[in-house]
Amino acid sequence: MSLLDFFRTTKPSTASAAKERLQIIVAERRQQGEALPAYLPQLKKDILEVLAKYVNADPNMVKISLEHSDDNLSVLELNVTLPEDDESV
């Protein structure tokens, strides 16, 4: 150990390592905890059925995701990709 090391005050703290590790596992656990509502698959199916009346529907057209961005706010994101040529059924 050099003399310089002896005077170096910024020792890596084990407490900060503990904190970082915990923040990661707690964040992961809390994401898993937020289970998606059971109605999402049915909702997707219904939307597809409606779309099928007007265009050639394909299950991959509709993407649904739910995000909890805040304590009191959930965002339902609905993404519909229409086929390029709009030939109606």
In the complex, the smallest distance separating the C-beta of residue 61 from another protein, rounded to whole angstroms, is: 33
Q: Looking at 23-31, 41-49, 55-63, 80-88, which segment touches another protein (CB under 8 A)? A: 23-31
Sorted by sequence, the CB contacts under 8 Å of residue 77 that are 6+ apart come out as 63, 64, 65, 66, 67
Query: Does residue 11 bind another protein (CB under 8 A)?
Result: yes
Strand 74-80 with 62-68, pairing: antiparallel
Q: Mask of contacts with another protein, 27-66, x by CB under 8 A?
A: --xx--x---------------------------------
> Could you tell me the sign of the dihedral formed by the alpha carbons of 27, 28, 29, 35, in that order?
positive
Q: Using CB under 8 A, which of 2, 13, 69, 72 touches another protein?
A: 13
Q: How many angstroms separate the Cα of 65 from the Cα of each of 13, 62, 83?
A: 40, 10, 21
Lookup: tokens for 5 = 């090391």
The binding site for another protein (CB under 8 A) comprises 11, 13-16, 18-19, 21-23, 25-26, 29-30, 33
